[in-house]
Structure 1
Amino acid sequence: MRQFLDFEKSVAEVETKILELKQVDHTQNPNVLDEIKQLSDKAEKQLKALYLKLTPWQKVQVARHAQRPHTMDYISTLIENFTSLAGDRLFGEDTSIVGGLGRFHGKTVIVIGIERGSDTESRLAHNFGMAKPEGYRKAQRLIRLASQFELPVITFVDTPGAWPGIDAEQRGQAEAIARTIEACLKATVPIVSIIIGEGGSGGAVALATADKVLMLEHSIYSVISPEACSSILWRDASQAAQAAGALCLTAQDLLRLKIIDQIIPEPLGGSQRNPEIAIKSVDNAILESLENLAGIPQQMLLVKRREKFLAIGRDH
């Protein structure tokens, strides 16, 4: 069953009416089909009007929508023969970050992604997409493996941020994130990162330090969550909508600021309304990016990646 966001109330009412009419025997009432068509057109127009002028806070809500495709949806659809590789060889396994080997359009790649889960059970299993140090150290291991065997790296980012618990801090959370960023900067193979939902804080940057950083149209990427920002600046989490506007966290803002490289269009109403189309769009964008990076010599790849991140903020 489709879940509607608060600002989609008008669309929800129309689509609920459509569902009711579809239960009516149209052979007994031939006008029902015409009414369904009229209501469907109305719902589409309302949805288009809403999504043409989303506020930053509404973008946050769309990015966090529970029915958006998650990392494992992309991996299971786009990566053939995916073989998960577990553990950091130092402490243990982290279930928030998944990674391994697979084939993308016939070529072997390393895939790393943050999985946040889609229901209560899977969210608990994946710690709500908040990785611990062992998750980032697993990512480092896979990135080094990619360089060793000259395999491109694809990362999927969808996290509210790294796990903030005492256990994570005791095991060196900040160091693990910093070392993952370092591993990405030193990788001698192309890295393409896609922010598919929420890109929160250093937990997202760790896997988005890439040659090409792509964002879905209604995803977000920020140094801190709007709620946390609101709590710090206004001592009141209820100012999150205002904080979202100040953070410049939308894909459109970040492309303008040259923090990301490309926006991937989403189906009308967001990826959650048509996951198949969204996943296909991501597929095409990854393929194009990898093809563009394939011919760049290793040393030049390293220099261009380093310069890309050093340049952020210079002109603003």
Structure 2
Amino acid sequence: MRAPQEPFPDIPAWESITISRRGDRPGVRQVLRYAASDVLPLNGTGAWETDPALLLALARFGGVSCVLLGQDRRHQEEVRPLGPAALRVARRGMRLASELGLPLVTVIDTPGAAMSPEAKRGGLAGEIARCLADLVDLDTPTLSLLLGQGGGGAALALIPCDRVLVAQHGWLSPLPPEGASAIVHRDVEHAPHIAAAQGVRSADLLAGGIADRIVAEHPDAAEEPQAFCRRVGRELERELAVLLHIRRPELLTERLRRYRVIGSAADTRHSATAPGTAADDAVA
């Protein structure tokens, strides 16, 4: 049984975005270090190609094993943006989860994919589309964790799962607010206003049915990295345990229904929000 949603404060979208970009914010490797009991890293696409921006591993949270795909924020900040090879690694992980009969966990934390000519020639757009298709059709339980930044197609490619968790200061947008501001206003000064209007913050995602649960930060994951990562691990373990008790055909049917109606008036699953949250004021 899932625990009640922990109340969370009403934080402006731009404040959460700024917090999510802190250099000392814990990423997927810290989650594995503090929350997973066993981790077996894997490497590459299986076709002589690799991208360290996407971590692929077999992991165990509590008593539940899974295949984990995690966008590594450190590599993207220090080396290069996430490219098409990273998404091919992700698709290998999806195939592996299906072959092993294990649930799949995706961890999203990216400012956005590479925008270089090389990335375009490497098939970035096609890999985003193929990730989306493979993930929606995957015949095993799927769970997504929006850990921090969720910028652009690289983030959207790993989001359509059976359940979606989001860190309190996590956010998701097809286009980062600065990019949207540049298009609309020809400057980036309007980014905070654009972020609020886009409805990118965790409370908005919960209210709109995109996210199912928020993992609280007290008040910021960077201030309590170990405690936050262990909290994330407990949430992952609980969600995976519930998903494993649902029959696979029912999971797939509900997943397809969920992403067919998401964002529409027909999706009323989150119309009642947890007491003390800001979700009732969110922009859907």
Same fold (TM over 0.5): yes
The within-5 A match list for 1:42-191 is 52-90=9-47, 92-117=49-74, 123-125=77-79, 127=80, 130-191=81-142
Q: Which structure is higher in RCO with an 8 Å CA cutoff and minimum separation 6?
A: 2
Deviation at 1:73, TM superposition (A): 0.5
- Residue of structure 1 in register with 2:262 after alignment: 312
**Percentage identity across paired residues of the two chains:** 29
Considering only aligned residues, what root-mean-square deviation do their CA atoms show, in Å? 1.7
Say if 2:239 is the partner of 1:289. Answer: yes
- TM-score under structure 1 length normalisation: 0.78
Task: Give 1:192's aligned amino acid.
Answer: L
Distance 1:294 1:76 in 2: 24
Deviation at 1:62, TM superposition (A): 0.9
Deviation at 1:91, TM superposition (A): 5.7
Structure 1 residue runs of 4 or more that deviate by more than 6 Å after TM superposition: none
- Residue of structure 2 in register with 1:221 after alignment: 172
Distance 1:180 1:53 in 2: 33
If you compute each CA radius of gyration, which structure gives the higher value, 1 or 2?
A: 1
- Residue of structure 2 in register with 1:251 after alignment: 202
- Flag structure 1 segments of 5+ consecutive residues without an equivalent: 1-50
- TM-score under structure 2 length normalisation: 0.87
Change (3 A) 1:91 1:224: farther
SS in 1 for 2:190: helix
CA contact (8 A) 1:188 1:298 kept: yes
Say if 2:260 is the partner of 1:303. Answer: no
CA contact (8 A) 2:97 2:104 kept: yes
- Flag structure 2 segments of 5+ consecutive residues without an equivalent: 1-7, 266-283
CA contact (8 A) 1:91 1:134 kept: no
Deviation at 1:301, TM superposition (A): 1.1
Say if 2:211 is the partner of 1:260. Answer: yes
Deviation at 1:53, TM superposition (A): 4.9
